[in-house]
Amino acid sequence: MSNKRVKKYNSDFSSSDEEDIKPKKLKSEKLPEQTKIKSDNIPEKEIDDEGNEYFSLGRGRRIYSSFFKGKRYINIREYYEDKKSGKMKPGNKGITLNALEWNNLKAVADQFHLALEQ
C-alpha cells in the first residue's frame, strides 16, 4: 500500500498544507481450525424427497440450481425439519443468484479464500 497525499481543509473550506496519511493496517484474523476450508472435504450430490439434486453445505444449508421463467438460478438456503410431516423444508434464510452473480462469486472465491488465510 502506498501513502496518499491529501489536502486538509479548514472549516471555511480553504485548503491548508498537504499532510501524509498512512493507511490503516487491517488485523488479519486467524480462522479457528474447524472453520478452515479443507479441499478433501467436498460434499457429494444428494437427492431430496421430491427427487431434486442438491449439495449439503452442513448445518441444514443446501446449494442447488432451479429454473424460473426459463432462467437458471443458484440457491443457497437453510432448511429445517417440519415437525408434522418430518420432511425437510426451505427456511426464510437464503440467497438466490442469477448466472452473472454466480460467475462473479466463483471468480472472487479463490482471492477471498487467500485473503482469509493471511
Please name the residue ranges forming H helices in the chain.
99-117
pLDDT tens-digit map of 5-27? 544 444 444 444 444 555 555 55
Range of the domain at 92: 45-117
More confident residue, 87 or 14: 87
Residue 22 inside a domain? The answer is: no
Ranges assigned E (strand) in 10-115: 15-21, 45-47, 53-58, 61-68, 71-81, 88-97
Structural domain count, the chain = 1
Residue 17 inside a domain? The answer is: no
Residue 64 inside a domain? The answer is: yes
Residue 21 inside a domain? The answer is: no
Residue 59 inside a domain? The answer is: yes
pLDDT tens-digit map of 42-58? 888 999 888 889 999 99
Under the banding of pLDDT at 50, 70 and 90, the label for residue 118 is confident
Read off the C-alpha cell for 105.
462469486
Other beta carbons less than 10 A from residue 76's beta carbon? 16
Under the banding of pLDDT at 50, 70 and 90, the label for residue 113 is confident
Residues making up the chain, counted from first to last: 118
Under the banding of pLDDT at 50, 70 and 90, the label for residue 77 is very high
CATH number of domain containing 64: 2.30.31.10
Whether the Cβ atoms of residue 77 and residue 93 lie closer than 8 Å to each other: yes
At 18 the pLDDT is: 47
pTM of this prediction?
Answer: 0.60
